[in-house]
Amino acid sequence: MNILLELFVVTFQVLWAFVAAAGRWLLRPREKSVAGQVCLITGAGSGLGRLFALEFARRRARLVLWDINAPGNEETAGLVRSIYRQAAEEALAAARKAGQGEEEVLPHYNLQVHTYTCDVSKRENVYTTAEKVRKEVGEVSVLVNNAGVVSGHHLLECPDELIERTMMVNCHAHFWTTKAFLPKMLELNHGHIVTVASSLGLFSTAGVEDYCASKFGAVGFHESLSHELKAAEKDGIKTTLVCPYLVDTGMFRGCRIRKEIEPFLPPLKPDYCVKQAMRAILTDQPMICTPRLMYMVTFMKSILPFEAVVCMYRFLGADKCMYPFIAQRKQATNNNEAKNGI
């Protein structure tokens, strides 16, 4: 094709992509069904992972929950079973009212949740557990890479092993889980891979070098994977990148921006964050930043001179927003050491 003609076609496609994106935002596309599909969530024992599990359970997905914290994971599973039970009871009541038999309804609500204790930072542990899932549950259709940790130390005070663990859990684990479950998705040209990253994977702040590096890595991995799937024309495999602002799960307890600004940009409620992410996942949205202001911050960081970004950070109180959190972590560590006589 003539390069000028091709340039015209590409320009039209780019403009159409903008129109389509605006249309999706205005018209709220219909959510797809995940009923009966196997959905695996890492870090399901608490926080956002638990909330993702409950949301997928309400949509009758078959849940596979991974976490290194077995008691927390089982607690999540108990909540999921309650949702399954309630849905089955409501369906049976509706069936009886409509004069239908139980045998017509129960197969659609006979759902189970499966729990596995897995340290996603360990490659072989991921591969071994993935093989168990395939044998005991079946092939995974929806993979939610959610597990995450934070060390809470300034770079020069952070032990090397904590830096390595942050990178392994927040970034490297995405490679291992995806390599474990993507082959079957490719074979079927069907699936969905969700990367729960962070706004700190799009722009950074002081004091959390390891965390930012791990989340930047997760974002880069996700974007490259998405491009690879497009290049392979595997349009049946969807990807969604989730980049929330500070979420009030306690993970960054003590983090503070300027007090005059905080009422306009408070920490996100976990329920709200997950519901927004679920809407993006179920409408095959490639990326979601919550709140929407994060899109603007990312754009401005990309076009402004570095010194201008520093000025903005200082005005917002974002330049040292992690310092109170780090101080609290350090105090808690010192208290534990004193308690244990170290």
The catalytic site residues sit at 211
Bridge partners (DSSP) of residue 66 are 42, 116
Among residues 150, 146, 82, the alpha carbon closest in space to that of 281 is found at 146
Among residues 171, 190, 222, 205, the alpha carbon closest in space to that of 42 is found at 171
